[in-house]
Amino acid sequence: MANQRTEVEDIKERSNYLRGTLTESLQNEITGALHPDDDNLIRLHGSYRQADRDLESERKRQKLEPLHSFMIRVRLAGGVSTPRQWLVMDDLADRYANQTLKLTTRQAFQLHGVLKRNLKATIKTFNDALMDSFAACGDVVRNVMCNPNPHESNVHEQVLAVTRQIHEHFTPKTPAYHEIWLDDELVGGAQEEEIPLPTASPFVKGANNEEVEPIYGKTYLPRKFKIALAIPPYNDSDVFANDIGLIAIEEGGELVGFNVAAGGGFGTTFGMLETYPRLADVLGFATTAQILDVVEKIVLIQRDNGDRTNRKQARLKYTIDRMGLENFTAELRKRLGYALAEAKPYKFIANGDVYGWKQNTQGSAEGLWNLTLFVEGGRVRNTNSLKLKTALREIATALVAYNEAHPEAVQSDFRLTGNQNLMICGISSAMKALVNATFARYNIPVEEHTLKQATTALRRNSLACVALNSCALAFAEAERYLPSLIDKLDVVIRESGLQDDAIVIRMTGCPNGCARPYLGEIGFIGRAPGRYNLYLGAGFAGDRLNKLYKEMLNEEEILAELTPIIRRYARYRAIGERFGDFVINAGYVKATKHGKDFHA
């Protein structure tokens, strides 16, 4: 008997283009949860139902249902946000969420702890500021990433324009989002300074005036689909971790096109060797004029050939490995009507962020300043010792006023990076002094030399997913634990003289890979509370997966394993040798040459 498609496929098909019974579920005051089918559908609207797992045992003891709440993910093409939009998100975090903002590894905002009764008001509010959560989750093309600073050069500006074009093209066309959350309002109210990101797509009608999704169809994609663009030499969006990675190629200071890579993806399942992380393969080169057509055809191949019977095998990476790369490329050539050109030379040197102030030297923003700010774990919040949320609110308020007073000038903005950090861009020299003074008042290091004094390069190159207490999939802590683990690793790092030597370290609470742990030179994946698998050997530029080194380690065992390796690296590394290369050359792990080789 042939495999039947999954229940999720049936839910999507009978949802009437993502409407389902969401309206009824939202109106049900008896429970803080949704109808089970709507739990799946709301993901395509950019939200997941979660529960506070710290309270789970006590609520069970009191015979109460879990304390249901919702995570909402707000899309930002290329991570670009205006200061006014930042203030809207800051206010929503306090009014309806848990008083914090999460900057994600896909350049999006996340709000956590939103109660069901506040979902509609929250979504309506950020939509009024020209932001949306539509297609931020679920089986669609998700937030499109790119280098976060378009002011750096003409090429950067052109790459952001392509990013926005892709973002808009793959936004679902159903009016369901606007019917359910916005009472049929197509777009929110715009402020003069707002960046014109698409918050809605025109409704599409078929031959008989019925609704259609011209790209997705009734069942959308078999699984989530991720796209990222990068500009060598920095791979700060981790292009090879995406279903499609586009590597910008410039000639004479102008963007001529992209090397096209396909088949990246990181979700795995413990104990299932047929699941594995995979880096995208470079297929060839396409011109800027061709690129949207190429991306669409790859998405359509996945729509038509992805596995809809097994969600654990449904990503594009498995479609390519099942078809074979040569057959996949031939199918792409058939659908395009032409072959991609030979890939052009490029070189990546790192996948982290470069911190501190940098002045633009060309383009429309020449002379203006950009600040890259380290945000540990991507969590913007106030603590007793760090008032980061307050500082950024004050800066955003000042920038709104400055932009309004200088409408003819390049507008200052906020940009989320793919490494959970924040850029404040388009800053005049006068405003730079104000920004510095604000951060100094709250003892937040921003200048390169003060940041180096306060943190090691290991910490500055760390990523962590949310994990416990809110993620239902997490087996262990990540965001809440990694900083304290780094505190302990920093002791041997400083003793070894490596405080200024970047080592990419990443941690997730489960193997789904939201913080891209398989690209950590040191990677941790939670197996149980306080227990982690340790992976070593990824490429510093995000171009090689790591390999499992030891399983089920507690903190004491992690420190016992890593301390001698770090010390040996400091003493015996070759000139310019990165930690991920060293652990392979020294024989700790073998290099992972392909995703199917990951478990070998």
pLDDT at 189: 40
One domain, residues 288 and 222: yes
Last residue of a domain, one of 278, 306, 336: 336
Q: Exactly one of 137, 146, 425, 471 is catalytic; which is it?
A: 471
One domain, residues 483 and 439: no
Q: Is 224 a catalytic residue?
A: yes
Bridge partners, residue 387, by sequence: 382
Read off the pLDDT of residues 84-105 as tens digits, 9 standing for 90 and up.
Answer: 999 999 999 999 999 999 999 9
Q: Exactly one of 75, 514, 516, 578 is catalytic; which is it?
A: 514
Please answer whether residues 26 and 120 qualify as being in contact, where contact means their C-beta atoms are separated by less than 8 angstroms: yes
Last residue of a domain, one of 438, 453, 468: 453
Q: What percent of the chain has pLDDT over 90?
A: 87
One domain, residues 463 and 548: yes
Q: Is 465 a catalytic residue?
A: yes
Q: Exactly one of 311, 465, 506, 544 is catalytic; which is it?
A: 465
**Average pLDDT of the chain to the nearest whole number:** 94
> In the predicted model, is pLDDT for residue 171 greater than 90?
yes
Instruction: Compute the average pLDDT of residues 177-199.
Output: 61
Residue 208: asked if its preceding bond is cis (omega within 30°), the reply is no
Q: Is 471 a catalytic residue?
A: yes
Q: Exactly one of 12, 106, 173, 224 is catalytic; which is it?
A: 224
**What three-state secondary structure class fits 50?**
strand
One domain, residues 513 and 366: no
One domain, residues 166 and 238: yes
In angstroms, the CA 53 to CA 64 distance is 13
One domain, residues 244 and 151: yes
Q: Which amino acid is at 314?
A: A
Q: Which amino acid is at 409?
A: A
pLDDT band at 271 (very low <50, low <70, confident <90, very high): very high
For the ranges 13-27, 180-194, 341-355, 537-551, the lowest mean pLDDT is seen at 180-194
pLDDT at 184: 74
Residue where the block lists tokens 């969600």: 311
Q: Is 425 a catalytic residue?
A: no
Q: Exactly one of 12, 43, 142, 379 is catalytic; which is it?
A: 142
Instruction: Compute the average pLDDT of residues 147-164.
Output: 88
The CATH number linked to 156 is 3.30.413.10
* Beta strands across the sheet bearing 505-508: 462-464, 505-508, 522-528, 531-536, 547-553
Among 185, 187, 240, 180, smallest CA distance to 26 is for 180
How many domains does the chain divide into? 3
Bridge partners, residue 535, by sequence: 523, 548
One domain, residues 301 and 364: no
Last residue of a domain, one of 453, 474, 495: 453
| Cβ neighbours around 518 below 10 Å, total | 27
Read off the pLDDT of residues 441-455 as tens digits, 9 standing for 90 and up.
Answer: 999 999 888 999 999
Q: What is the residue range of 427's domain?
A: 356-453
pLDDT band at 153 (very low <50, low <70, confident <90, very high): confident
Phi-psi region of 576 (alpha: psi -120 to 50; beta: other; left: phi over 0): left
One domain, residues 161 and 257: yes
pLDDT at 200: 46
Q: Exactly one of 137, 146, 425, 510 is catalytic; which is it?
A: 510
Phi and psi at 597, nearest 5°, equal -95, 0
pLDDT at 527: 97
Q: Exactly one of 226, 311, 527, 544 is catalytic; which is it?
A: 226
Q: Is residue 344 part of a domain?
A: no
One domain, residues 279 and 365: no
Read off the pLDDT of residues 458-517 as tens digits, 9 standing for 90 and up.
Answer: 999 999 999 999 898 999 999 999 999 999 999 999 999 999 999 999 999 999 999 999
Q: Exactly one of 43, 49, 73, 516 is catalytic; which is it?
A: 73
pLDDT band at 12 (very low <50, low <70, confident <90, very high): very high
Q: Is residue 343 part of a domain?
A: no
One domain, residues 442 and 320: no
One domain, residues 433 and 499: no
In angstroms, the CA 276 to CA 272 distance is 8
pLDDT at 1: 37
pLDDT at 64: 80
pLDDT at 204: 64
Q: Is residue 113 part of a domain?
A: yes
